Amino acid sequence: MSDARRVAEVLRAGRPGDDVLVRGWLRTARHAKGVSFLEVSDGSCFAGLQVVADPELPNFEAEVRKLGTGCAVEARGALVESPGKGQRVELQARELSLVGGVDDDYPLQKKRHSFEFLRTIAHLRPRTNTFGAVLRVRNAAARAVHGFFQERGFVLLHAPIITLSDAEGAGEMFPVAGSEEFFGSQAHLTVSGQLEAEIAALALGQVYTFGPTFRAENSNTSRHLAEFWMIEPEMAFCDLAGNADLAEAFLKHVIQQVLADCPDDMTFFDQRIDPGVRERLEHVVASEFERLTYDEAVGLLEGSGRDFEFPVRWGIDLQSEHERWLAEEKVGRPLVVTDYPREIKAFYMYLNDDERSVRAMDVLVPRVGEIVGGSQREHRHDVLRQRMAEAGLPEEQYWWYLDLRRYGSVPHAGFGVGFERLVQFMTGMANIRDVIPFPRVPGYAEF
Ligand code: 4AD
């Protein structure tokens, strides 16, 4: 459509003398005596391109001198070597035009804004350094997710968003209004694509979903969203050990790819958001994940001498403070905790011979705590029926899930990764609301 170049490409490959056209928004405009310096950002990379304008431009006084932060511009000219530090080249404008001006009340002035304030202007925050970087890291991570599974022969499954069943059996679902009349049954927004992924895995062997999921839990925390994206691989003929290996390889792959694809964004997160985050990620990639059973983890926690807010005893669900102590202080690297008490885990997890624990696994990482949850699935028809009865789940609703256990059932396993938790871990952003473009949380669904 045009010969415009992306700023990322100009900064990477542009050479003095090249004639280029760039388009973008002004991050800053500095009007000095007889010359204006404009930083143009088009979102393609962390840095902007410095555009230099001088009085030879016919619209210099009438237009250029009035440009300010947020204006959309188009600039054409020759690249010249930049005398300033931090950039190799800058653009000496031969033509500079205003495409879209900015009203006086533009809220994104040069000063630092709090993340809380920026959430209230989610339509403008992608223009800030931080959110541009977050969105590019999200993109690189999504690409890495698909790359990881596609290279290994996993088939992408599009799981439904409107569903009749509660995949987690936890009852934290958003009802779909009018579904009784429309579908003939009360429908909800999905909490997980796992049960459908199991259907596909028992035909295609290895599948994964990557889509939005919804939880109506009233958790107003820095790690919970009402709408989040989840990645759920599922493998037939696989046990818990194979599942944990896949989760470890997956996390390492995505992290490595993001470090390679977004070096400048990661430098920003490392310097300005969470000092040390890059080293922490490199450490994760290089280290072997520890594996502990729930019994072992509880033993370590009990022996820690720590005064936890939630006291530790066998049978409790591990709280964030316990997970973080294990990952950050005891083990010092990510760990996989397996074989949780049956009472605290979902009905579909494989019951161990001890009958008190199930083949569940959580991957815990420093800072974030639980980032992956998964299990080997109960593939024995009789045991599954018994577990569903205990959980109070009606068989009529899960008839097809039970059928899978009657027709060619095999051991199978899978896990779910919260995509935002993963992006949070990689960027060091403190609040999960700041790693998704438009957060949905209790009391808020604007934009
Ligand atoms: O542990 P969860 O609930 O597991 C499942 O949904 C299984 N069906 C997964 C499977 O075995 N296929 O959720 C999985 C992950 C968590 O580890 C966490 O990273 C993320 O999803 N998660 C959330 N992320 C943001 N906001 C929330 N409210 C989340 N709840 C879970």
pLDDT by residue (tens digit) across 334-347? Answer: 999 999 999 999 99
Residue type, 56: E
The superfamily in CATH containing domain 125-434 is Bira Bifunctional Protein; Domain 2 (3.30.930.10)
Label the pairing between strands 89-100 and 49-53. Answer: parallel
Position 87 scores a pLDDT of 86
Residue 351 has pLDDT above 80, yes or no: yes
Which among 228, 348, 361, 429 is the best mutation to test ligand 1's pocket, defined by most ligand atoms within 8 Å of the CB?
228
**149 close to ligand 1 (CB < 6 Angstrom):** no
The full set of domain ranges for the chain reads: 7-100, 125-434
**337 close to ligand 1 (CB < 6 Angstrom):** no
Position 136 scores a pLDDT of 98
Residue appearing with tokens 């694509």: 193
Residue nearest to atom 21 of ligand 1 (CA): 418
**168 close to ligand 1 (CB < 6 Angstrom):** yes
Beta carbons of 218 and 202 less than 8 angstroms apart: no
C-alpha 415/C-alpha 318 separation (Å) is 18
**DSSP classification of residue 269:** I
- The pLDDT of 9-19, averaged and rounded, is 96
In terms of residues, how long is the chain?
A: 447
Residue nearest to atom 6 of ligand 1 (CA): 192
Residue 374 CA to ligand 1 center (angstroms) comes to: 9
Residue 1 has pLDDT above 70, yes or no: no
CB neighbour class for 111 (10 Å; exposed up to 12, middle 13-18, buried from 19):
exposed
Residue appearing with tokens 């909490």: 191
Over residues 112-156, the pLDDT tens digits come to: 899 999 999 999 999 999 999 999 999 999 999 999 999 999 999
User: Per CATH, is 7-100 categorized as 2.40.50.140?
Assistant: yes
Position 371 scores a pLDDT of 94
Alpha-carbon distance values, 63 to 57, 101, 104 (Å)? 10, 10, 16
Residue 334 CA to ligand 1 center (angstroms) comes to: 17
**247 close to ligand 1 (CB < 6 Angstrom):** no
Q: Rounded to a whole number, what is the largest CA-CA distance in the chain?
A: 84
Please report, in angstroms and rounded to a whole number, the separation of the first and last CA atoms in the chain: 30
Label the pairing between strands 162-163 and 155-156. Answer: unpaired
- The pLDDT of 182-192, averaged and rounded, is 96
Position 33 scores a pLDDT of 96
Half-sphere exposure in the Cβ direction for 179 (13 Å, CA) = 12
C-alpha 332/C-alpha 300 separation (Å) is 14
Over residues 193-241, the pLDDT tens digits come to: 999 999 999 999 999 999 999 999 988 999 999 999 999 999 999 999 9
C-alpha 94/C-alpha 87 separation (Å) is 20
Residue 214 CA to ligand 1 center (angstroms) comes to: 10
Alpha-carbon distance values, 194 to 162, 223, 233, 442 (Å)? 14, 21, 8, 25
Which among 195, 323, 421 is the best mutation to test ligand 1's pocket, defined by most ligand atoms within 8 Å of the CB?
421
Beta carbons of 191 and 170 less than 8 angstroms apart: yes
Angle between helical axes of 240-261 and 419-427 (0-180°, round to 10): 50
Residue 13 CA to ligand 1 center (angstroms) comes to: 42
Position 85 scores a pLDDT of 80
Rg (CA), the chain: 26
Bridge partners for 72 per DSSP: 25, 100
Secondary structure (DSSP) of 357-398: EEEEEEEEETTTEEEEEEEEB---HHHHHHHHHHHT--GGGG
**414 close to ligand 1 (CB < 6 Angstrom):** yes
Residue nearest to atom 7 of ligand 1 (CA): 416
Bridge partners for 235 per DSSP: 206, 413
Confidence of residue 4 (pLDDT cuts 50, 70, 90): very high
Confidence of residue 171 (pLDDT cuts 50, 70, 90): confident
Residue 372 CA to ligand 1 center (angstroms) comes to: 7
Percent of the chain exceeding pLDDT 90 equals: 94
Token pair in block for residue 73: 């511009």
Beta carbons of 91 and 75 less than 8 angstroms apart: yes
* Residue 111, C-beta contacts closer than 8 angstroms, at least 6 positions apart: none
Bridge partners for 93 per DSSP: 77
Token pair in block for residue 328: 């950050």
Over residues 52-89, the pLDDT tens digits come to: 999 999 999 999 999 999 999 999 999 999 987 888 99
Over residues 40-52, the pLDDT tens digits come to: 999 999 999 999 9
Position 182 scores a pLDDT of 97
Residue 154 CA to ligand 1 center (angstroms) comes to: 20
Residue nearest to atom 26 of ligand 1 (CA): 224
- The pLDDT of 6-27, averaged and rounded, is 97
**374 close to ligand 1 (CB < 6 Angstrom):** yes
Residue 382 has pLDDT above 60, yes or no: yes
Position 6 scores a pLDDT of 97
Token pair in block for residue 29: 């405009």
Residue nearest to atom 1 of ligand 1 (CA): 373
Beta carbons of 359 and 374 less than 8 angstroms apart: no
